[in-house]
Structure formats: structure tokens, C-alpha cells
Structure 1
């Protein structure tokens, strides 16, 4: 009996610091965001006025907020699809095919992940530079350009952000999937070869199902983290411009806070939080399937 009590006390002492820190720095600030979304207050003013759901009603008619949400959703969907598609394909090729220098390719693909967003933003801003950027210089070798292509102009800024975000993320997930694919027994592929299954069939019928748990976990994590990454890339590369064409919800939230609309910015934060939570639940539900064992 005393032994069980001692064990319980030990577990409480181990868990208490983390629980207190989580409550103080996560739960309380989150609840405060919800509370502040119901008030009207300046960013640096202690005075606040209860306005109920007025801030949320304003969001419904705020065209710039709606546009920023659309941009955020577009980035989340397209970046996730492209990143995971290429990460899985590259991981499958480097794992199954006999390619020299596999470790070299792992390092090369992983390097962007260890760079800060500011560094990557600087690299791609130089690549996209209209006058002498790499992309326009390469295109100029094959055709005469009367006017430089504005890669960060209103029409191309979202695709330009997508390329930078995909380049940053592919390597990390490729390495993770390579580790999972390496654990798949080679005997399963040998049996599939005897049955006449090609590489593509084996990839979709053997590899993907057996690493699905890993895919599902990383997919949920990546989708939610992309909401934050989109904000960081936009802040570092475009600041939401030109004319709000690349603005995302988190960036718009900060701009409203800087404009003195603190309660309104907190309402935007609540919407983003609820959107992230709902998106996570939907992804978990859609990707739920019976795990396969080998």
C-alpha cells in the first residue's frame, strides 16, 4: 500500500511541472483570447468595452478577412498535396531503387528544413527578382522578354509562395517516409514480383498501406503547421502584398492588432483556432482506416 502511494506521489511530482506550465502558458492564454474576442479594446489601452459577438459579425462582411482565409486554405490544400506527393515518390525511389549516393540525396533534400524561414524567403526573393532573378534569367535564355515576369505580382504571388513552402518541407517528410519504407519486408515485394505486380502497383498496394499510420500522423501535423508556416513565409516574403493578394488570416490578424483593433484581432484568432481544430478532426476522420501489420 505504501509502495503504491509512493509511486503515485512520484508520478504526480513528475507530471506537475509540465501540467502547470501547460496550463499557465497554453490554457489560460487560449481562454483569454476567447474572452477578449467579445470585447472592444485598443492594442495598448487597458480600457475595454463588452460588445458580445459584434467582432464576429464584422468578420462576416470583411472582404479582406475572407480573402485572407481563402488564401490560407488554398495554401494549406495545395502545399499539402504537392509536398506529400513528392515526398512519398522521392522516398519510394530512394528506398526501392538502387541509386548511388542515397545518403547524399537525403542530406541535400533535408538541408532546406534546417534553414530558417527568413533565409529561405531571402533565397526565393532573389530568385523571383524581376530584373536579374534566376527564373527570369533562365527564361531570357530561351525567349526575348520585353517585360520581366513579376513572380511576386498579384497573379503569381500565391504560386511563388507555394514553391518556396514545398521546397522547404519536402526533405523532412521524405526522410521520415524513407525510414518507414525501409521497415517494410522485402519478401512482400518479392512475392508481388512473382505475381506480376509492377513498381507502381507495389507502391500503392504494399508500401502506402503499410506506412499509412505514419502518413496519417504526419499529414495531420503538417496541415496544422502549414497554417503557421504560411504566415511566416508571407510575413518574410510579401507582407501580405501586393494589394493583399498574398495575405493570410494570421498576417491579417496581426495587422488588425497593429491598427489598434485588439478585440477584432482576437476574434480572428478564435476563428483560426476553431478552423484548425475542425480541420484536424476532419483529417483524422477521413484518413481513419484499419492499420495493417507485417
Structure 2
């Protein structure tokens, strides 16, 4: 097929690779514009833009798709279909209607659960045991379109980073399969029951809430790895927790219970395993404590 690909983050790169490898013609790749990042706030191209340019594909980075001229440029590509994976911009009706077969989305949840911006993180935070990928036809509503195919994945103790990589690969393969046999995957309406919304992650949510218990705090650690990074503050410094374990020891929430950084969470406790100080690399909790002692009885904010 002649396709338009629309995606921005790492999650979308495997889909672009898979579509090219399957022999589809990519008429153009749409990504969000480069954003300032890093200490120097230099403009950084998205992972999809970097990959598309390396493949010699035309890349377009409009700020909005609501402009009539931009919609006309999109329609002029005369695509059979558009494939969307975590693009990040709303597609107006003229965009949705332009490709001959419509627009297909790779969504990282088992719809209708976790419609919206952050389905992987919300599934982990909610303690879901199963998540997955849905291939769906796009319509004007937020992830409300009919479904073509799904893939289920167990969450276990996976981080958002690990789950993103897994679902990106599975979603890419499933998208190629659906496009290759559209008649074998007729669209099915989403169920009316079980709808939940995965709202965008607020950075304030990454502050570890020890009063909610170690189970929920450990979910925060996994859900916000790699970004924005679950954290606590000590002496005015933010300490990110990249990995942690739950231990069955009761203690006052937010109080360090031993000299190895076991943190009370009420009826149980959280033991950080891998941490990171501001401006430094990741390290084990033992490495942190060698030069940054945190004695028992310390209260964390």
C-alpha cells in the first residue's frame, strides 16, 4: 500500500521499520516538531524523525493539522491509508477522511480500557495483570473507533520502559498483519462497558507516596521508569528510584527503618534497589549510601 506514517516517540519506531520491511510505500512521515531538551535546551528531533530521515523518507512536522493548507498537503499524498502510533496530535475529520481506506491506530492497551495518552503507565499504576495492543480504525472520538485486532501481554513486574518496548514490537507486527489481510480483520465496535481513560502523566504524580503503601509505591517506580522517574526528597535533593522491592516490615510512612534505606509505608515497606542522584548516573542503593548515608529514623519528604 501507499501509506502515510504518523508517530513521534520510541514506541512508534518499530512500526515504521516493520511497514518498510513489509514492502509498503511510505509517502511521508508525520512527527511532532523538534522540542528543546537537555541542559542547553537545543532543539531535539523525535526518535521517529531521526529514523525516517535515516531511511531517506520525507518528514513533515506541522505544529497543527487544523490548517486548511496543511490538510490539503496531506490529501495530496493520495495515500491508501495512514498508520498512527503515538503521534501526539489530534487528527481533524478532513485528515481522517483523506486516505482511501482511512486511518489505523496502534494503541497500547486492550480497548476500551485505557483510552487516552498514557495507557501503559496507567495500567501499571492500577495494578492491572494484563494489558496489550489494539489495532483500531480511527474516528473523531478519543480512541473510540472499531477494533481490528488485539494482542495480550502480561504486565508482571515490568517497568513502563520494558512494557513499551514489548508492545511496540507486537503492535508493529500486528499492524503489518492487519494491513496484509484487511478482509480477515473486519472492524468490531468497542464494548460499551469497561471504558477507562488514561490521562496524561503529571510530573507531580512521580513523587513517591509512602502513605499509600509499598505496593502502590513500587507501582509508581515501575510506571515512571524511565520518565518522569519516581522520586523522594532528602535534604532538598531529589533522589530517583529506578527499581525497588517490597518487604513485609511495618513502619511509619516515609521513615527510614534501617541503615540500608528500607522505607516505611505503613503495614509494609519499600526497599529501593537502584537509584539516581541529580546529575549523576544510576547506581545501587548500596553505592548511594557509601557517600550519602541515610541513617535509620530519617524522615523523607
Q: TM-score, with normalisation over the residues of structure 1? A: 0.24
More strand by share: 2
More helix by share: 1
Q: Which has the larger radius of gyration?
A: 1
Q: TM-score, with normalisation over the residues of structure 2? A: 0.24
Larger RCO: Structure 1 or Structure 2 (Cα < 8 Å, ≥ 6 residues apart)?
A: 1
